[in-house]
Homo-oligomer: A and B are copies of this chain.
Amino acid sequence: MDKDRVTVLISCQDQKGIIANVSNWFYERGLNILHCQQYASKDESPIFFMRIEADMSESKLDKAEIEEQFRVFASNLKLSYKLFYASVKQRLAILVSKTSHCLYELLSRYEENDLICDIAMIIGNHDSLSDVAKKFNIPFYYMPIINGEKEKQEERIIKLLQENNIDLVVLARYMQILTPTFINAFRNRIINIHHGFLPAFQGANPYKQAYERGVKMIGATAHYASEDLDQGPIIEQDVVRVNHEQGPSLLKDMGKDVEKRTLLSAVRAHIEHRVIVYKNKTVVFSKES
């Protein structure tokens, strides 16, 4: 059943009749709309966003025809769009360093069929987590930064990602700042987890800073990586209530829980094609089924 499903993400300048136009286009082609969500931004010059899931099984068009006809339609209405088939899973690469909690979260969900994608590989700038990869039968690539030559390491990684047709890169506590070259190669297709509720404590050891400041909540932010560190479009944020009883080390443990569930939630939203990026922020449509 899923194999006949197509999801289209649309954005354009808001215009009269846009919902009617788009829904007609599907209707006339026998593409039955299963879910439809739309939104117009609150900006002075509003942008319109739409997510449509449709069933192709009763259409007389094949995929190539659908794609071509939509291309023409979108061109006429000046729509930006992406089109995804449910039968084609997103291919993920997970980048890690030495910390395992986010990796375990992603892999155990994946193993339980609770994260519908292909995790094609795990890449580490350290070798520490190769055993975890092995446990879950995922290829692990050890890609150290040699002699401080980070750009060369990134070149090797980008090559590997491209050769493997990776759709989404997940930084699961990767702890390295990516160069603009990397960012550009996977614009809005790299998800990072930030160990703080943005705007957040800057610099090293944020949980110690949180303890020193005596905050009553700690949080995490999952966002697309951008050139400006921690300034990319936010996909998901979450917090947990804390109090004076929790010292820096317990705060860190609690923070790990928030980090992993926030990252998971953001990755799910992306691979389910529920996210549209605009103006350095996101529209995240709710999940339905």
Q: Using A104-B111, A250-B287 as known contacts, say yes or no to A215 and B244 having CB atoms under 8 A apart.
A: no
A147 lies within 8 A of chain B by Cβ: no
Closest to A210 in B: B199
- Is A39 a contact partner of B245 (Cβ separation < 8 A)? yes
A237 lies within 8 A of chain B by Cβ: yes
Protomer copies: 4
| CB of A32, distance to nearest CB on chain B (Å) | 6
- Looking at A12-20, A64-72, A85-93, A185-193, the stretch in contact with chain B turns out to be A12-20
A167 lies within 8 A of chain B by Cβ: no
- Is A39 a contact partner of B105 (Cβ separation < 8 A)? no
- Is B105 a contact partner of A101 (Cβ separation < 8 A)? no
- Is A104 a contact partner of B100 (Cβ separation < 8 A)? no
| CB of A51, distance to nearest CB on chain B (Å) | 12
* Measured CA separation A244–B284 after assembly (Å): 7
- Total count of chain A residues near the partner, CB < 8 A: 69
| CB of A81, distance to nearest CB on chain B (Å) | 17
Q: For A24, list chain B residues within 8 Å (CB).
A: 20, 24
- Is B288 a contact partner of A245 (Cβ separation < 8 A)? yes
| CB of A12, distance to nearest CB on chain B (Å) | 15
Q: For A256, list chain B residues within 8 Å (CB).
A: 114
- Looking at A117-125, A168-176, A275-283, the stretch in contact with chain B turns out to be A275-283
- Is B42 a contact partner of A211 (Cβ separation < 8 A)? yes
Q: For A249, list chain B residues within 8 Å (CB).
A: 289
| CB of A27, distance to nearest CB on chain B (Å) | 4
* Measured CA separation A249–B244 after assembly (Å): 26
- Is A280 a contact partner of B39 (Cβ separation < 8 A)? no
A141 lies within 8 A of chain B by Cβ: no
Q: For A40, list chain B residues within 8 Å (CB).
A: 34-35
